[in-house]
Amino acid sequence: MAQVKSPAEHMLASATGSSSQVNVIDPLTGTTATTSVFQQPKFVFIFLLVISLVIARVFSSKSRLPAGVKPLPRLPGLPYAGRFWDVPGPGIEAAWHFGGLHKQYGPIYEWKVMGVIHIWIESDKIARDLFVTRQKNYCDRNELPAAIGVREGAEILPLMGYGEKFRRYKNFMHLIMRHATPKTFYNWPSQENKRTLRRVLQEPERWSEHMLVHCARTIAGVAWADPQHGSKLLKIIPVILKAVSPAGPVINKLTFLANLPESVSPWKKAESERRHEMTDAFVEALKDVERRTNEGNCDDCWSKLWTTKEKGTEHLDDYEAAHAIGSSSFVAIATVGGPLHAFFTAMCHYPSWQGKVVEELDRVCGNRPPEMSDMPNLPRLRATVKEIVRWRQATPLGVPHVVMEDDVYEGYHIPKGAICHANHYLISREESVYPSGNEFIPERWLDPSYPTYKEPLTEFPTLNGDRGFGYGNRSCPGVDLTQCELLGLIGHLIWAFEIKRTEGKHAAENPVPWYETAPWVITMSKPFKCDVKVRSEEKRRWIEEFAPEGGQLIKDSEKERTSRWDVVRKPGQEHFNWDGLTDLATGHEGKVYAPGV
């Protein structure tokens, strides 16, 4: 006789494409009989319970809106699950993807993924209205599945949830920045600029590596008065950067895996190891400053303000101070290293502008590289840095702002807990503000015919107030340091070297990439082969006479390792790719050369 299935069995079979039958052993005869799971009461109960929970979750999420308030434009999707199948690839591709949707859904729209509401913003006006004017309601951070505890913890200021602890950390960072800025960050950037010139002169083909080492050594000097501590930062940054990026561990996409216990979760084990290693690095560096301070041989740095109990530092304990200084330091490497890599890309695509900056430097500085005191007289150099930061954002999708309470904006409902994203890639290309926004045009900051022009040119352009550094009370506190580093090193590089794309056969084999970045939350233009040559024998002699030797942080082999913090080049590795953060560009994606070049 044909077996008759219940309607529920038909539904399950059609949904799964598999049989709903199980084998049951008769306890009396010992024979096996085939029966349906839906003939067993406990399976029926579990099935109905699951269906009830899903239905309850769906309908409970549909809150009634006040009169006159409407929901944001939303991408169509499934109940609760939303549009989980259309999540874009990582890095700059995500900015392009979400940007394309604005053409259909408007300047602000909603995307729901697995019950979580994401709100995407394409204009500076909306971002300022929400993140600046209403900043107290848009200043929280979201939980990160592969970095559980970072939001609630005391380790990483930029990712910390809003609250009393965040305010203490932020006040501490403002204090040490105010102390260091007028002292040109204790002269550490100036010292490292010269060392970097020497390294580039000796091994120009490793320019990408030299930029990373420069950033690590500079911020380690500012933070701990010892550039060698920069190796700690080079060691820990790739791990945390991948952990907090959508392109990192699979748990960042399949967020339900966060419910697994640590004993069976490789991601929680990895996060525990990462947290302990980072703490060891930061605490060890601070203890080293404390020891040298007691011995009377520690130069000025951020940590010395803590060890000497400078007024205003007493609100943090040892652990908190170590992490406030350390986490602010590792962010500086990626956010400064990104524009430095973009600088090489820009110089190869737009060689005529490089010549204009050279003329300015030679006229103002003569036979020496520029110093910070020269900057009021170097508007072209400042325009170069300003345009690089706009043209290739370090964080094209920004850092998310989480809504703390329900809000209404322009008649639209913005729910509590929604994760808001300002698309900095689009904001930096608003046509009314940045005509031909995809092109590298430093003149937009110097020519009165552009809407971005400001006077006096002894002050503007400047990175102060730049929207690329975030909005409101979650904006980056390190703008002055970033500006000091970029102006100083880029000025030194243009003064000393000619940077251009390779010529002849090598040019065809190594095209300059247009927009290739690593797929992490902080993007960096991928390095490529180019010609970096000293401009003259006079410049060579200056470097050899005044730029000190040394300053390398990357060991060539394991035989040179002396510490757990040493960064060692992999066997046979000519190009140091920083654990995948600076892989070489292919040069075959999208546009290769800018029009008119």
**Under 8 Å between Cβ of 512 and 592:** yes
- Residue 555 pLDDT exceeds 60: yes
Give me the pLDDT at residue 213, please: 97
Residue-wise DSSP of 553-571: -EESSGGG--STT-EEPPT
Q: Name 24's bridge partners.
A: 33
Mean pLDDT over 310-322 rounds to 93
Environment class of residue 537 by beta-carbon count within 10 Å: exposed (0-12), middle (13-18) or buried (19+)?
A: exposed
Report the distance separating Cα 511 and Cα 592, nearest Å. Answer: 7
Residues 160, 166, 172, 178, CA torsion sign: positive
Mean pLDDT over 327-342 rounds to 91
pLDDT, averaged across the chain: 87
Alpha helices, DSSP H, located in 181-227? 188-202, 207-224
* Strand 401-402 relative to strand 70-71, pairing: unpaired
| 3-class DSSP assignment, residue 364 | helix
Which tokens go with 416? 């509590």
Q: Who wins on pLDDT, 507 or 151?
A: 151
What residues contact 200, with CB distance under 8 A and at least 6 apart?
207, 210, 493, 496, 497, 532
- Residue 358 pLDDT exceeds 90: yes
Residue-wise DSSP of 182-193: GGTGGGHHHHHH
- Residue 37 pLDDT exceeds 70: no
pLDDT digits (tens, 9 = 90+) for 447-462: 999 999 999 999 999 9
**Under 8 Å between Cβ of 73 and 106:** yes
pLDDT digits (tens, 9 = 90+) for 59-113: 554 567 888 899 999 999 888 778 888 777 667 888 888 888 999 999 999 999 8
Report the distance separating Cα 150 and Cα 23, nearest Å. Answer: 48
- Residue 345 pLDDT exceeds 50: yes
Report the distance separating Cα 441 and Cα 16, nearest Å. Answer: 56
Report the distance separating Cα 385 and Cα 486, nearest Å. Answer: 7
Give me the pLDDT at residue 25, please: 46
Q: Who wins on pLDDT, 8 or 511?
A: 511
pLDDT digits (tens, 9 = 90+) for 517-536: 888 888 889 999 999 999 99
Which tokens go with 567? 């960064």
Report the distance separating Cα 498 and Cα 501, nearest Å. Answer: 10
Question: What one-letter code names the amino acid at 522?
Answer: I
Element (H, E) at 421: strand 419-422
Question: What one-letter code names the amino acid at 474?
Answer: R
User: Of 38-52, 82-96, 274-288, where does mean pLDDT reach its minimum?
Assistant: 38-52
Domains defined for the chain, CATH in brackets = 146-580 (1.10.630.10)
With CA atoms as reference, report the closest residue to 300 among 230, 233, 221, 228: 221
Is there a binding annotation on residue 301? no
Give me the pLDDT at residue 83, please: 86
Mean pLDDT over 421-437 rounds to 96
Question: What one-letter code names the amino acid at 33?
Answer: A
Environment class of residue 314 by beta-carbon count within 10 Å: exposed (0-12), middle (13-18) or buried (19+)?
A: exposed
Return the percentage of the chain with pLDDT > 90, whole number: 66
pTM of the model: 0.87
Confidence class for position 567, pLDDT limits 50, 70, 90: very high
Report the distance separating Cα 566 and Cα 553, nearest Å. Answer: 8
Compute how many other C-beta atoms are within 10 angstroms of the C-beta atom of residue 187: 14
Environment class of residue 421 by beta-carbon count within 10 Å: exposed (0-12), middle (13-18) or buried (19+)?
A: buried
**Under 8 Å between Cβ of 434 and 428:** yes
DSSP class of residue 590? S
- Residue 57 pLDDT exceeds 80: no
